[in-house]
Chain A
Amino acid sequence: EAGVVQSPRYKIIEKKQPVAFWCNPISGHNTLYWYLQNLGQGPELLIRYENEEAVDDSQLPKDRFSAERLKGVDSTLKIQPAELGDSAVYLCASSFTGTLNEQFFGPGTRLTVL
Chain B
Amino acid sequence: AQSVTQLDSQVPVFEEAPVELRCNYSSSVSVYLFWYVQYPNQGLQLLLKYLSGSTLVKGINGFEAEFNKSQTSFHLRKPSVHISDTAEYFCAVSKAAGNKLTFGGGTRVLVKP
Contact = CB atoms under 8 A, between A and B. Distances in A.
Interface in A81-114: 91, 93, 95, 97, 100-108, 110
Contacts of A105: 36, 43-45
Interface of A: 3-4, 31, 33, 40-45, 48, 56, 91, 93, 95, 97, 100-108, 110
A64 to B, nearest CB: 22
B51 A106 contact: no
A41 B44 CA distance: 13
Closest 7 A/B residue pairs (Cβ): A42-B103, A105-B43, A105-B44, A101-B94, A107-B43, A106-B43, A42-B90
A106 B106 CA distance: 18
Interface of B: 4, 9, 32, 34, 36, 41-46, 49, 51, 90, 92, 94, 99-101, 103-106
Given A43-B44, A45-B101, A101-B94, 9 more contacts: A40-B106, A45-B100, A48-B99, A93-B44, A101-B49, A105-B43, A105-B44, A107-B42, A110-B41
B43 A4 contact: yes
Contacts of A110: 41
Contacts of A107: 41-43
A42 B43 contact: no
A2 B24 CA distance: 34
A41 B43 contact: no
B105 A102 contact: no
